[in-house]
Amino acid sequence: MIFSKKKEIVTPYSVEECGSCKAISKRKFKEGDYIFKNTDSCSPCKGQLSIVKIFGEVLKV
């Protein structure tokens, strides 16, 4: 239908940044994630990764 509303699917993502090499990686949100939480260590430089952003990306279908 021309005027029918598109359904929105929101996928949550967490963005991690390494404290030393500043590398940024994006992954799917896991329960227990929160902004500024220290997570794993960075695989190339062994620095501390922390979550800098959590957001939902909208997909219209």
Partner 1 sequence: MEFLGINIDKLFDANDQSNPLMWLVWIVPIIIFMFYGQRIQLQITSSEISKSLEKLKTYKEETKKELIEYIKTTLKPSTDPSPKIDRFFEHFTIMPVDMDPNGIVQKVRHVMRSREDFTRLQVKAFSPDISGLEASKIENIMEVANTLHLLYKIVRHLFLTAKKQNNFPLILPLQMMMPFIMEEAEALKTAVSAFKQGQPLGDGIGPMVVGKMMLGTEKKTAAFETVWSEHEYEGRKLYLMKAEGPAATVGRPGDALEKILSENQLDIIVMVDAALKLEGEESGSVAQGFGAAIGGIGTDRFQMEEIATKHKIPIYAIVVKQSIKDAITIMKKEIADSAEKVTSQVYEIIKENTKTGQSVLVIGVGNTLGVSQ
Where does this chain bind partner 1 (CB under 8 A)? Answer: 10, 12, 29, 31-37, 52-58
Choose between 32 and 44: whose C-beta lies nearer to partner 1. Answer: 32
What is the bridge-based pairing of β-strands 48-60 and 38-41? antiparallel
Closest approach, Cβ 48 to partner 1, in A, equals 12
What is the smallest separation between the CB atom of 12 and partner 1, expressed in angstroms? Answer: 6
Strands 38-41 and 24-28: unpaired
Nearer to partner 1, 42 or 51 (CB): 51
CA-to-CA distance for 17 and 28, rounded, in angstroms?
Answer: 14
**Residue whose entry in the numeric block shows the structure tokens 């990306």:** 57
